[in-house]
Amino acid sequence: MSFNNLDTLYRQVIMDHYKNPRNKGSLEGDHLAIDMNNPTCGDRIQLQLKIEDGVVEDAKFDGEGCSISLSSASMMTQAVQGKTVEEALEMSKLFSAMMQGEEVDPEKFDLEDIEALQGVSQFPARIKCATLSWKAMEQGVDQSEEA
């Protein structure tokens, strides 16, 4: 597949998650709620996590922002559900490395739709948009471990 075709495919995946977000909404019952924003561009995310016995049982988000921020939140909530806290944190670490332009071993991190965000690393001002929900997840996991 040529670079232009791949770029077009990635844009389509990002726009699909933006227009049809997965896991957007609110969790019922006991859960953690983490509010984060990116003051430089106005992105705002409220992430909700249900963590039981060291496993991310459910994740939902709400908020407003650019297509990169909201599609990344959609992808992240899909990726971490059912993962242990340790696996979710490792995914976040690898996602951050990918945003810094580093190659990510697909055996360590099954990128699935998240791969579409790789191109964001070429735009430093947009990296914070892509990582906002991941940073919220890290903060939520830290809160759950402290509780």
Listed residue (143, 145, 95, 94) closest to 117, CA to CA = 95
Would you place residue 143 in the very low, low, confident or very high pLDDT band (cuts 50, 70, 90)?
A: confident
- Write a three-state SS string for 116-147: HHHHHHHCHHHHHHHHHHHHHHHHHHHHHHHC
> Could you read off the pLDDT of 16-49 as tens digits, one per residue?
999 999 999 999 999 999 999 998 889 999 999 9
For residue 7, the SS3 value is helix
User: What is the per-residue pLDDT for 112?
Assistant: 85
The average confidence (pLDDT) of the chain is 91
Would you place residue 107 in the very low, low, confident or very high pLDDT band (cuts 50, 70, 90)?
A: confident
Which two structure tokens, joined as six digits, stand for 89? 């944190």
The model carries a pTM of 0.93
Q: What is the mean pLDDT of residues 108-124?
A: 87
User: What is the per-residue pLDDT for 108?
Assistant: 77
Q: What is the mean pLDDT of residues 72-93?
A: 96
> Could you read off the pLDDT of 11-21 as tens digits, one per residue?
899 999 999 99
What are the structural domain ranges in the chain? 3-146
Q: What is the mean pLDDT of residues 105-114?
A: 81
CATH 3.90.1010.10 fits 3-146, yes or no: yes
